[in-house]
Chains A and B, each alone.
Chain A
């Protein structure tokens, strides 16, 4: 049966049949400063090409409707005027790597997001009125992400920070395992609003391999749910100010009141070492 092996060139599942931006104008409806795109028949690249085209025309507010899994929305929007910011409002279900490498723009999703929200995002805001899949905020290096409900595995994996550039991830619900895995920087806040009274968070191995940044966790979590590389501390006044600020922003986005949320018990998770595996791999 070996000779049934197929030997032929690979077809490109991303770029096959992609139409040039000029042929896509019929999917855009421009109205002054804002535009509406119907994404139903658009491929990943076509939608991003259109977003770029309307941004270059000076439009600052884009509504994208009928989104069903188009990936990388908001990436590649590096505009000639670096101060120019776009607001992209998405209705539907954006695909993986929403806002990858995002360059200061604001994305609002009315629905659930999939895996890789804000992958290596540089600056800007992503606000998800729903849940997000795995690896939310992976390698994020700046900006803010607010997710109203739960997230999947490995949220905030390898998030990082620089002097004067600290990414922020706020999750309204709970998270699954390996939350904050290999975290190297940034601020992560997990609120547990989708949990029942006294129900512990779903995540195990929280902060495994964490070596920078901070996690503020509201709600119950058992000792064994924490990874070996994190320590638990109470919040000090500086921490409280940070939590109050970002919980306030979170509540403003989703129309919630911050008072009751802030009354809950918060804990601070910090890495116990800057190089947790240094002794394992160094000779």
Chain B
């Protein structure tokens, strides 16, 4: 007789009904730099949206003194991985400065890896001189992440950086001493509630490639399709989690193909066909074309994301809004978050709070008031 054996799960995951990651982003549209207090307090406010299995922050305007160099943040599981990576880096980059990222040893986290940062300039040889610096860096990051065991590049942009790990976000912030050491003009933050994939240091959000970062709440059910399409463009998914495809898709569409956010958000979250039917002729043509050309990059399933890069961030939900988002504005500060309460707790006297339509991006740009363009269709 066959008896089905039951194995205890390797990681205990809670029942699904309470799943919900927490997102927060704040940007000063004049480019003024500020500390991490707002991002950290907001994440504390929405603590219950995560379960301590991942927290992280992305900061822009972080390394003004090295703004011309790519800042690589790399985590190593052991010394050997570090030696391997460093000999690879020396071959491919001029390293202008490197150091261990300062941490607070009094913060008790599970199994923190060794985390190091390198400020580098590409050292292109032979045929590769035809490549852009960005493409060169992407290829090297992909190499390390796919081919060197126990090492993971989790941040590779200029004048920005990602800090992340396993723990509640405020613990990660305390561990990396974010509030005391750093300032930036744009902060995004994430509290993780992993559902289908393991909670591990590399799998915490934000996900990044070059200076693109993504924080995400939801699950991407089109992951397989998206991933295969991205592999055709030399992006390889190595992090055991769905959000990764979003970071690479943004890099492909916005950096390499030069599409604006307003178009990219229609590729990720296009209107349903029967609503396209009722559009004006020009719009109908645009939306149908986008749906046909970029069908493999339609992101299906429930999601809210905050995507950021230099001088810009945008918030977007899936087209039928199965995950929440709220935007807020006060003077030059613009906020995006999963919950209005997280914004109000760091800025009680908001000028405006609004929720865009599903699939409609809230675009926050330095030196512009573009975020207000999403207002007319909001509630």
Contact = CB atoms under 8 A, between A and B. Distances in A.
B53 A6 contact: yes
Given A4-B201, A6-B200, A8-B110, A114 B77 contact: no
Interface residues of A, number: 43
Interface residues of B, number: 50
Interface string B2-34: 000000001111100000000000000000000
B321 A177 contact: yes
Contacts of B326: 133
Q: Which of B45, B113, B150, B200 has the most CB of A within 10 A?
A: B200
B interface: dominant SS: loop
B36 interface: no
B52 interface: yes
B51 A96 contact: no
Interface string A99-135: 0000000000000101100000000000000010110
Interface in A149-168: 149-153
Nearest to A130: B353
Contact of B341 (A14, A95, A153): A95
B342 A6 contact: no
Contact of A114 (B111, B274, B340, B377): B340
A115 B324 contact: yes
B149 to A, nearest CB: 7
A5 B340 contact: no
Given A1-B152, A95-B339, A204-B275, A173 B379 contact: yes
A260 interface: no
A223 to B, nearest CB: 10
B274 A224 contact: yes
A11 B340 contact: no
A8 B110 CA distance: 8
A85 interface: no
Nearest to B49: A13
A279 to B, nearest CB: 21
Nearest to B317: A153
A14 B48 contact: yes
Interface string B37-56: 00000000111101111000
B45 A5 contact: no
Given A1-B77, A1-B202, A13 B358 contact: no
Contact of B340 (A133, A150, A178): A133
A11 B379 CA distance: 36
B320 A153 contact: yes
Given A13-B47, A224-B274, A7 B320 contact: no
Given A1-B202, A69-B46, A224-B274, 6 more contacts: A1-B149, A4-B113, A13-B47, A13-B50, A71-B48, A222-B278
13 contacts: A1-B149, A2-B240, A4-B111, A4-B201, A7-B11, A10-B51, A44-B48, A69-B45, A69-B342, A92-B344, A114-B340, A176-B321, A202-B377
Interface of A: 1-11, 13-14, 44, 68-69, 71, 92-96, 112, 114-115, 131, 133-134, 149-153, 173-178, 202, 204, 222, 224
Interface of B: 10-14, 45-48, 50-53, 77, 110-111, 113, 149-152, 166, 168, 198-202, 238, 240, 274-275, 277-278, 320-321, 324, 326, 339-342, 344-345, 353, 355, 357-358, 377, 379
